[in-house]
């Protein structure tokens, strides 16, 4: 028997590179030495035979067969082989080894797929666990709320602020200028301590705002401790108590009432600002892509800052609307219930008279000493058993006014308690009482040392001075002196209307006009108004001027309020709570000072002092605005690059 033919040489011409690569891969396993009698030893190398009965079903299972050419090559080898035991053993060994190799490849492949599946399942479960951890872990900014909840809370904040403003502003105006709510039970029993004074209302408001300036700083601790929602509710309840005590306007009820209201004045304004800023921060997280596309970031504005401007615009409109509602209701009630004869007679005793017997009004008015005997004769002349000081407004008018104001306050409390939720500003750890007090005190001290607060403080003092001037000097020495008590609330109605229009317009155009231009316009307008008030002699012959001047004053007031508010928001984007508390501290100091000097200085001195205060306030504020504007534009240019 001869040796088997060398199968490698049978189909050399038809072999391609794929078959050669496959043979090289398996040749070390398929090499079998076959020795045939009569010949020399030779080593034959055989590829794995694929088309056999034992592997006939392999092609159906293994979809990764090499190629048809390789199959053709192996078929040719089987066809030319002659039967022999050695060849049969060689074929069986090749088939067995080939099956084991292919099974090994299949096992490796299936295990690889299983590992991929396991890794993908493990990755998905890891992602799910990560999402669960992120959702359960509180962020520094607190939870995210839906737009519906946030807008409902903002609507409740605006409505409650409208009601409180409608109760406060008319009361401050009438009490600060004419001391309407000051009742003494009997002239014969009046002690030297509580003698009636024409300016006792302004002194009471001095105590209120002086106490409020201190409580504005202490409100940082209260708002952070009990939250904005409870701070607003408690402050509005304190307002209801304060308004209700005016039903019995004597020294034993009003003096504690004004001190009590001063304690809650700081938490009221601080909680309102904190709630506004919290809602702005939360709304910036849920803005849509369309809203994001409408924001102009070229001026260096942040997303939260834009939202704050929009919400503050709505809150200012709510405040002016309350201003209008309160003055309108007060004007109608006084028109229909006041006694004109007694009012005019009592007004004559409050102002100096010229040579023609006419009242001296305007900047020439100086405080008069209180004439107790003349006042008693006046009350006896009109048979007033319950002497009101000094306008002769009946008890019925007083009761109706206070009842309306109290109704406004009760509505504010009801809206706040019913519709406002506890919006978390940030996640804060619970700190002990002593530690919280110490940190608040250090924060107050550090904010006082901030040079930016020091530069903006004169402007806030001036805002308090000019608002107090309108509540006291203008309403008494200009409006009441020339037109009577019934026209005070009606004149302030025009101030509120134009102030709301100016504030809404100014907050929108500030993004397109340089801020120092707005400052210059406000400075010129305010200077012209002060000049008009110095040289103007109020008279019934020109009633239109009584509405034009306060309307223009409302524009200036809107300019200063809007500029100062937006500056604090821009300079302190994150730590805004303490700066706002200090700003209200200086503002309340200005109001307290104006009410305090109402009965001690002439009007022309007050006007010249107000002009000097405006110059002192505007110069450092303008420098701070220009410096901050340059820094913001530089930051915007760097971001654009």
pLDDT tens-digit readout, 161-172? 999 999 999 999
pLDDT attached to residue 386: 44
Q: Tokens 């001026």 belong to which residue?
A: 299
Task: Please tell me the distance from the alpha carbon of residue 309 to that of residue 296, in angstroms, as a whole number.
Answer: 13
Tell me where in the chain the CATH 1.20.1250.20 domain(s) lie. 147-640
Maximal C-alpha separation, the chain = 162
Strand, helix or coil at 5? coil
Q: Which two tokens stand for residue 232?
A: 């607003």
Q: Would you place residue 139 in the very low, low, confident or very high pLDDT band (cuts 50, 70, 90)?
A: low
pLDDT tens, 200-248? Answer: 889 999 999 999 999 999 998 899 888 899 999 999 999 999 999 998 8
Peptide bond into 390 cis (omega under 30): yes
pLDDT tens, 396-439? Answer: 788 889 999 999 999 999 999 999 887 766 555 567 777 878 88
Contact 420, 200 (CB under 8 A): no
Average pLDDT, the chain: 76
Judge whether residue 548 has pLDDT over 80.
Answer: yes
Concatenated DSSP letters of 530-544: HHHHHH----TT-TT
Of the candidates 628, 503, 512, the residue with the CA atom closest to the CA atom of residue 570: 628
Which range scores top for mean pLDDT: 97-106, 217-226, 230-239, 383-392?
A: 230-239
Q: Which two tokens stand for residue 74?
A: 């192996």
The pTM assigned to this predicted structure is 0.75
Contact 310, 150 (CB under 8 A): no
Structural element, H or E, at residue 34: strand 31-34
Q: Tokens 């929602």 belong to which residue?
A: 229
Secondary structure percentages of the chain, helix, strand, coil, to 5: 75, 0, 25
Structural element, H or E, at residue 44: strand 42-45
Tell me yes or no: is domain 147-640 CATH 3.40.50.720.
Answer: no
- 461-498: string of b/e by CB count within 10 Å (b at 16+)? bbbbbbbbbbbbbbbbbbbbbbbbbbbbbbbbbbbbbb
Bigger pLDDT: 543 vs 523: 523
Give 486's DSSP letter: G
Backbone φ and ψ for 31, nearest 5 degrees, come out as: -85, 115
């Amino acid at each position: 028997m001869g040796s088997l033919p060398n199968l490698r040489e049978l189909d050399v011409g038809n072999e391609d590179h794929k078959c050669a690569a496959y043979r090289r891969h398996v040749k070390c396993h398929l090499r079998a030495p076959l020795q045939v009698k009569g010949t020399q030893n030779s080593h034959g190398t055989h590829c794995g035979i694929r088309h056999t009965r034992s592997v006939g079903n392999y092609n159906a299972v293994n979809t990764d067969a090499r190629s048809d050419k390789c199959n053709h090559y192996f078929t040719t080898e089987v066809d030319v082989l002659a039967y022999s035991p050695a060849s049969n053993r060689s074929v069986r060994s090749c088939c067995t080894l080939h099956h084991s190799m292919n099974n090994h490849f299949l096992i490796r492949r299936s295990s690889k797929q299983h590992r991929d599946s396991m890794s993908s399942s493990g990755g998905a479960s890891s992602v799910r666990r990560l999402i669960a951890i992120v959702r359960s872990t509180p962020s520094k900014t607190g939870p995210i709320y839906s737009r519906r909840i946030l807008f409902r809370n903002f609507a409740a904040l605006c409505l409650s602020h409208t009601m409180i403003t409608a109760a406060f502003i008319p009361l401050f105006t009438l009490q600060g200028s004419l001391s309407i709510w000051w009742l003494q039970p009997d002239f014969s029993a009046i002690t030297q301590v509580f003698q009636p004074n024409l300016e006792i209302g302004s002194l009471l408001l001095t105590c209120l705002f002086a106490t409020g300036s201190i409580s504005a700083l202490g409100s940082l601790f209260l708002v952070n401790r009990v939250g904005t929602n409870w701070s607003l509710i408690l402050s509005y309840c304190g307002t209801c108590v304060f308004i209700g005590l005016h039903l019995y306007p004597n020294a034993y009820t009003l003096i504690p009432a004004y001190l009590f209201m001063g304690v809650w004045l700081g938490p009221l304004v601080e909680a309102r600002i904190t709630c506004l800023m919290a809602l702005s921060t939360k709304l910036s997280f849920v803005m849509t892509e369309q809203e994001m596309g409408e924001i102009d970031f070229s001026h260096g504005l942040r997303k939260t800052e834009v939202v704050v401007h929009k919400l503050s615009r709505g809150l200012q409109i709510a405040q002016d609307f309350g201003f209008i509602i309160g003055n309108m209701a007060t004007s109608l009630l006084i028109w229909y219930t006041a006694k004109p004869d007694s009012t005019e007679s009592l007004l004559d005793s409050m102002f100096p008279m010229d040579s023609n017997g006419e009242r001296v009004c305007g900047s020439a008015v100086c405080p008069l000493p209180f004439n107790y005997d003349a006042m008693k004769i006046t009350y006896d002349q009109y048979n007033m058993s319950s002497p009101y000081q000094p306008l002769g407004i009946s008890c019925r008018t007083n009761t109706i006014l206070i009842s309306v104001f109290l109704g406004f306050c009760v509505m504010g409390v009801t809206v706040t308690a019913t519709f406002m939720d506890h919006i978390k500003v940030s996640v804060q750890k619970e700190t002990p009482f002593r530690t919280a007090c110490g940190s608040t005190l250090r924060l107050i001290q550090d904010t006082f040392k901030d040079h930016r607060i020091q530069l903006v403080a004169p402007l806030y003092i001036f805002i308090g001075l000019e608002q107090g001037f309108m509540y006291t000097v203008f309403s008494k020495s200009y409006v009441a002196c020339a037109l009577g008590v019934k026209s005070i609330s009606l004149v302030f109605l025009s101030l509120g209307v134009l102030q709301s229009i100016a504030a809404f317009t100014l907050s929108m155009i500030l993004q397109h006009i340089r801020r120092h231009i707005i400052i210059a316009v406000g400075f010129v307008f305010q200077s012209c108004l002060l000049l008009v008030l110095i040289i103007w002699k109020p008279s019934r012959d020109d009633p239109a001027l009584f509405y034009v001047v306060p309307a223009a004053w409302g524009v200036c007031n809107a300019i200063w309020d809007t500029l100062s508010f937006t500056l604090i928001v821009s300079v302190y984007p994150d730590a805004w709570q303490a700066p706002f508390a200090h700003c209200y501290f200086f503002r309340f100091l200005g109001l307290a000072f104006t009410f305090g000097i109402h009965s001690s200085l002439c009007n022309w001195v007050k006007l010249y002092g107000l002009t000097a205060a405006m110059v002192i306030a505007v110069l450092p504020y303008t420098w701070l605005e220009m410096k901050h504007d340059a820094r913001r534009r530089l930051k915007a240019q760097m971001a654009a690059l």
